[in-house]
A and B are shown apart, each in its own frame.
Chain A
Amino acid sequence: MLSHDPWLVLEDVHLSCGGRPVLRGLSARLVGQVVGLVGANGAGKTTLIAAMLGVLKPERGRVEVVGLSIPRDAMLLRARAGVMAEQAGIFPGGSGVDAVAFAGALSGLDRREALRRAHRALDALGVGEERYRPTQGYSTGMRQKCKLGMCLLHDPDVLILDEPTLGLDPPTRTQLLELIGELRERGMKMLLSTHILQDAEAVCDEMLLIEGGAVRYSGPTTGLLREDARVVVARGDGLDQPLADRLGKAGVTVVQVTPGEIRFRTSDEALRSFWQVVAENHAEVRHLGAEVRSLEEAVVSMMRAPLGAQEAAATPPVGSGGAHG
């Protein structure tokens, strides 16, 4: 679901931690209701989240989240946002329901109301009697549910989820993704930082791919997948290396050859040449179509490609974003 007004605006954001530049001129305008934040370890995802919350202050640039200017309105954003931090645990010492209610109290709910909401949230998340047990003995799944409960309790306008499905078993992970889908239906804006790209593909409308503290891609998830639609896969008999060599001589850019399968970059000219070479060599093509890749493959291929090459190959993105250097 894409609206026209960006809820997350980053303009030339520069931020250093301990003298080391982490964010280097990050710029993006994101409109998607669920935005996937992806990037390798150390790319600057957690630092970006901290900058969005005003916990870390950029040396330069502008950060705006749901219309609030950060760091000026950071406290208001923190009151309006629910954050599930990957590295942070649960408030220690008490039971699950106590920790969840405490999170609500810190957001300004009175204790009785926070406790009532905590029970409701844990009911909805499928946490039964375990809620009364000390949190030290909780499984990873239970901890993640409690953490999600903690960030949903005060009915936030925006959710920032850092690796919410990390360490979860498949049924719990599916349950959590379904819940994210439900929240999306209710109109909640979300930033989902994850390494599990299947999760991002399942729920995100828009992607923000960062690398080395800069934006590598920002825009619709479909746009990221479409970048690979320029590659065509041909399958059939006689599609082998000698034929690929002949295609190359005919001006077709062959990407990959495996026995019975050739991938090449498409254009009207390349297609004409392809059919001509196939006919001349009596090869038989049984399938010809755009390559369908997963988000994971698309992201990995984008991250592996050198910056300049990627920019040259990038399809103009739909909506607000695009590939960035």
Chain B
Amino acid sequence: MAEAHGSGHRVPSSAEVVSAITGRELRLASQRRIVRVLFALSLLPLVIFALILVVGVATEAAFGAGLRWDPVERFLAVQTYPVLLLALGLGTPIVASDRAEDVLFLYATRPVRPADYAVGKLLAVAGPCVALLFIPGTIMAGLRLGILTQVGPSDTLLVIGKVALASLALGCGYAGLAVGASALTHRTRWALLGALSVLIFPDTAAGVARLTFAIGPTQAVTDVIKALFATGTARSGLWGATLLVALAAGGTAILLWRARREMTP
């Protein structure tokens, strides 16, 4: 049963370990029905906005009245919701289920460092979230270039850059939130509840107090997108981005703390 090890025994690099952890999580996620549904749903805004764009151009050609708003910005604003659902669907069980099954020590019996574990799990959530905003956003930018006559390649590249920035900030922020909540408990439902609390209460409080700056992740995302597409202030965009980065860092710190604490017998 035990076979000769092809390359002899060696310590795998952190990149190999992280790739193994992230790859497995993504494979498992792709097998889950809820994740498939969320993924399919996340493509819906792309189809709808592409249709709006085509119809808008046709309307402009026929009646001279075109769209008065940037389809990419609107698309990104709508797309944040399926991405948020995906982050919660992928992220909230990711550490909680490991803790429920008591396998953190199992990782420690392998050449896995706590940081490898934390990065692997975080990437398994952040990766799809970033991709799900960036890829359709880039497609939208491409469609915009192909359909709208007033849009040039340099403008499109700029839009793609903005989409990339928004995707990174949002993907990492939401991933940090979901994974951090997951690392705090060993039950997925509690992790989900915790993450939802962070999503709902600060933004609600900000709304009630009529604050002009974001204190919750949803408003932070909106501010970042608005600032990138010049419909919001740079200051609020920067603050929103800082909040999202802090969320990502906080989630990673909780995950790392948990891994260091429980990767022992």
Residues of A within 8 A of B (CB): 46-47, 49-50, 53, 55-56, 75-76, 78-81, 83, 85, 87-94, 98, 102-103, 105-109, 111, 113, 117, 120-121, 124-125, 150, 152, 154-157, 160, 179, 183, 186, 188
Q: A88-B102, A92-B97, A94-B24 are in contact. Are A108 and B2 (CB under 8 A)?
A: no
Size category, B interface = 35 or more
Contacts of B6 in A (CB 8 A): 109, 113
Asked if residues A117 and B3 are in contact (CB atoms below 8 Å), the reply is yes
The verdict on B71 contacting chain A, using a C-beta distance below 8 Å, is no
Asked if residues B265 and A90 are in contact (CB atoms below 8 Å), the reply is no
Question: Once bound together, how far apart are the Cα atoms of A105 and B31, in whole Å?
Answer: 19
Asked if residues B263 and A55 are in contact (CB atoms below 8 Å), the reply is yes
Nearest CB in chain A: distance from B109 CB, A: 4
Asked if residues A75 and B103 are in contact (CB atoms below 8 Å), the reply is no
Known A83-B109, A87-B105, A92-B100; 10 more pairs at CB < 8 Å: A50-B264, A53-B109, A55-B264, A56-B264, A75-B111, A79-B111, A89-B101, A105-B20, A106-B17, A150-B106
Contacts of A93 in B (CB 8 A): 28, 93, 97
Question: Once bound together, how far apart are the Cα atoms of A78 and B265, in whole Å?
Answer: 15
Contacts of B75 in A (CB 8 A): none
Q: A53-B109, A56-B264, A78-B109 are in contact. Are A92 and B101 (CB under 8 A)?
A: yes
Nearest CB in chain B: distance from A52 CB, A: 10
User: Closest residue of chain B to A56, judged by CB?
Assistant: B264
Q: A89-B101, A90-B103 are in contact. Are A106 and B9 (CB under 8 A)?
A: no
Q: A79-B11, A90-B103, A113-B6 are in contact. Are A107 and B24 (CB under 8 A)?
A: no
Q: Which of A81, A88, A152 contacts B1 (CB 8 A)?
A: A152
User: Closest residue of chain A to B117, judged by CB?
Assistant: A106
Nearest CB in chain A: distance from B65 CB, A: 52
Contacts of A186 in B (CB 8 A): 2
Asked if residues A154 and B263 are in contact (CB atoms below 8 Å), the reply is no
Contacts of B194 in A (CB 8 A): none
Q: Which of B1, B4, B17, B97 contacts A121 (CB 8 A)?
A: B1
The verdict on B10 contacting chain A, using a C-beta distance below 8 Å, is yes
Q: A55-B263, A85-B265, A155-B3 are in contact. Are A106 and B110 (CB under 8 A)?
A: yes
A-B contacts, 7 listed (Cβ < 8 Å): A50-B264, A78-B111, A80-B9, A88-B102, A91-B101, A102-B20, A108-B16
Q: Which of B211-254 contact A (CB under 8 A)?
A: none
